Amino acid sequence: MTKDAAIGHITAIEGGVADMQFEEDGLPALGSCVLTLGDRPIALEVASLPAADTARGLVLGPGAGLRLGLAVCDTGQPICVPVGDALLGRMFNVFGAPVDGGPALQALPRRPILRAPVPLSHRRADSSLFETGIKAVDLLSPIERGGKAGLFGGAGVGKTVLITEMIHNMVAAYHGVSLFCGIGERCREAEELYREMHEAGVLENTVMVFGQMNESPGVRFRVGHAALTMAEYFRDDRCRDVLVLIDNIFRFVQAGSEVSGLLGRIPSRVGYQPTLGTELADLEERICSTDRGAMTSIQAVYVPADDFTDPAATHTFSHLSASIVLSRKKASEGLYPAIDPLQSFSKLLTPGAVSDRHYRVAQGVRNTLSEYEDLKDIIAMLGLEELSETDRATVRQARQLERFLTQPFYSTEAMTGQAGRLVPLEETLTSCERILAGELADRDEGAFYMIGSVDEIGGEGRDAA
């Protein structure tokens, strides 16, 4: 803060937004960080300039200390976070301040959280597959190295469990840097994730950034940008591959909607902010690969009321190279992970991008499950016995595949009592080929439930699931 920094005072407070009055020649610029003058400074980010002498700012700290007439000072700089190798193994807030009880980071360079995306001419396209060890994902919605994948689903269908399992499977074997960003999630989840990663011994290559559910909408709106600034350092300066895990993108959209309302903007479709598409693009387009390193992102996306036509979901879909859709119906049937194989898709699942064998097996599985879906109404009305022998064989295969695509997770071992499985893609392809070829037609469908590969199936099988 400079000696001639502009001084103003707060004239209005509404929720997570405050109006600050300055002299006309001392009005701060948009995006500037303004600090309150007091024992505990509170940061505000200038979001709009509604009058010639007034700046309206997002409150980025506990608002209990705010009051009318409180003096504020323009720092003349945007919000910045520290960057450097010292970030590894630590947990931070939106300002880059440690929240894990460890020592403060001193003398690290700082960078603005709002930065322009990499120009198209500097981006790199990479079509190699990023294995997760989760059968349904690797087979039907393969994740692209350097791409963006979304886990879509309503409340309680297993988004956080699935992303936690991906962290367990991928971070341990990942040779780059992993960055987890929690946007608007519960404090309990942050603490559990930190402890689990510490116990798994993967924390030293991981950075964690949180803007929790109990924090102001301004914090939830900006924490994703803070996390990406840190990730860009490892990609661009250290030339390392970065795996960015975000939970939950909808909370970013929701925070933007709250901020937009507080700033007095007229709502758009379904009450969302009119700037939804731009704000989401500002965040998503920073996630890309360059010649220096790949940045791969896996994002959980809450779908309000399971409505996939909701603007938050449709805008997010357009930025992704793979969409993994979680189904409440699958979850109610106990088929976990509750991935809908017919709604999920990946741009990588095309001839030439994956092996011919992978493409052929994936199409065979999808076609079999699609035919079974078409036959369900007939089965419900007339019964299985009225189907032709060919259709009955299709139904049997589809039910075996549905149960084979379930998988016990390491992250749920304590709750289910079942040991987790990490299944290589090669084993998944071999098992699906055997099911599609009818080699296991005499096995009970329940024998395929919650196993790794079909080699685990005994002669008699288990009871039907």
Residues marked active site are found at 159, 185-186
Q: How many CB atoms within 10 Å of residue 86?
A: 13
Q: Which of 65, 62, 64, 93 is nearest to 79 (CA)?
A: 93
Residue with tokens 């259709």: 391
Q: Show the CA angle centred on residue 79, arms to residues 76 and 81, nearest 5°.
A: 130
Bridge partners (DSSP) listed for residue 57? 18, 46
Torsion sign across C-alpha atoms 432, 434, 438, 443: negative
Q: Which of 340, 323, 321, 345 is nearest to 144 (CA)?
A: 321
Torsion sign across C-alpha atoms 303, 307, 310, 314: positive
Q: Are strands 80-82 and 110-112 parallel, antiparallel or unpaired?
A: antiparallel
CA distance 110 to 230: 10
Q: How many CB atoms within 10 Å of residue 292?
A: 18
